[in-house]
Structure 1
Amino acid sequence: MTHDDRVTLPSLPRLDSLPAAEHPELVAPPVARALASWPGAAEVAVVEIDPDLADTAAMSEAYDVPMTAGGNCVVVAGSRGGDERVAACVVRADTRADVNTLVRKLLDVRKASFLPMDRAVAESGMEHGGITPLGLPDGWRVLVHDALLDEPLVVIGSGVRRSKLLVTGRLLADLPGAEVVEGLGR
């Protein structure tokens, strides 16, 4: 790739952005594997942060990131006829996933609830507070809030608390298995 062919990675003024695919040591192993095989990885940056500031509100304040530029990933599950259905919902940080109505209907279950954190961590191979829509287990749906797509920069988890991934909003629609959902966040 020549200098002119390089993708401009998203960045934050107060943090050093690095190409995520070239720094697997800064992300969870399942995220590193997903980055290694995903064509969109060339457009993903990673930044190291203080792990004590990994929660969205603290990170936004400490690093001057608007809440509209944050993407929170929550894992939701429900079952029908003994068949469990799991979805990772990525919503803009200034909203909450519409679990009880929209996600429940999309999963076609009677009741949807957040997957217990210990189970989400164990099955995803990611840390609490770092779960991200990239590198999730096969069979988990990835639902993306449509409001994120127009954001020039979206900060999402990296699978670990000590870093974050930076992507353009439009790139979220290109995540493996992503389904863009209107009104996912309320």
Structure 2
Amino acid sequence: MESNIKGLVAAGHEMASELKAECGAVDMRSVAKLISDLATQLEVQLVRANAMAAENELARKAVQAFCEVVGDNTEVIAEVVGRYGVLVILKAMKATVNMPATDAFLAEIRAEARNEGINYTASRLAAAFNHGFINKSLREVFDVTRMILSAKEELANEPHPIDGLSGEYAEKSLEEWAEQIRKGGCQ
């Protein structure tokens, strides 16, 4: 797979260079730039995938070492393994803790998922208003929708939900509102 991707990367860069040299049309230059950008991104993804694969291989070896040491000495692990065995286990397990490429990749996936959720929420609000399910002024709905969408920027560098954004507040509010509705208040 890697050699196929490397071939595509090289072909993309070469094709972009040829298009830039041979075509004077602005449109073709845009196409050439797009091809070059795509090839560059493909190359970046290959580097990222290789780094993650290397880290995951290290993690696999760490788990394997742990299993071998523990498996061979289950009955008398403390007596047989001793200080060196414990150090082997700790070293192998420590190797699985620091995986920056994997952490960065997962952070990007979380950010994408967060943005999709924010977009979905804002779209649901807009659709509900546009179809008459929200009896508020256009200005109020506009402000709330804009506020929801601005959360993407506010949360861009947040690894975990900041206070009040874990969903607990909204869920608690829903429970309270449901109770009020059951009691016949606030229709």
Q: Would you call these one fold, judging by a TM-score over 0.5? A: no
Structure that is richer in strand per residue = 1
Point out the structure with max Rg over C-alpha: 2
TM-score normalised by structure 1 residue count? 0.19
Instruction: Give the TM-score normalised by the residue count of structure 2.
Output: 0.19
